Amino acid sequence: MLTALVLICSVAASPDVQDCTPNNATTVMRLPGEFGNPAACFMRGQAYLAGSSIGRELDAGERVKIMCFRTEIIAALLQRR
């Protein structure tokens, strides 16, 4: 199963969105629930962000990246933050 992370990174810290990681993101949101395939994971991540106050208040200096990981490795990724 997959779990989605929504990352919001500063353009100043990560000009290229590919460099945005859970370690350098200004905001990391873990979606509730798990997904069976990558397409569902990414689409739900986008919808979750769009429905949140954080998503509606993004400014020009922020970039969004949705990452989907196997659920069992999420805890290890977030502990490194």
pTM of the model: 0.86
pLDDT of residue 32: 92
In tens, the pLDDT along 15-42 reads: 888 999 988 999 999 999 999 999 999 9
8: helix, strand or coil: strand
Residue 25: per-residue pLDDT: 94
Res. 60 pLDDT band, cuts 50 70 90: very high
Contact at 8 Å (CB) between 7 and 25? Answer: yes
Residues 27/8, Cβ–Cβ less than 8 Å: yes
**What are the residues facing 68 on neighbouring strands?**
4
Number of CB atoms found within 10 A of residue 6's CB: 22
Q: Which residues neighbour 50 within 8 Å (Cβ) at sequence distance 6 or greater?
A: 56
- Does the structure show a pLDDT above 80 at 81? no
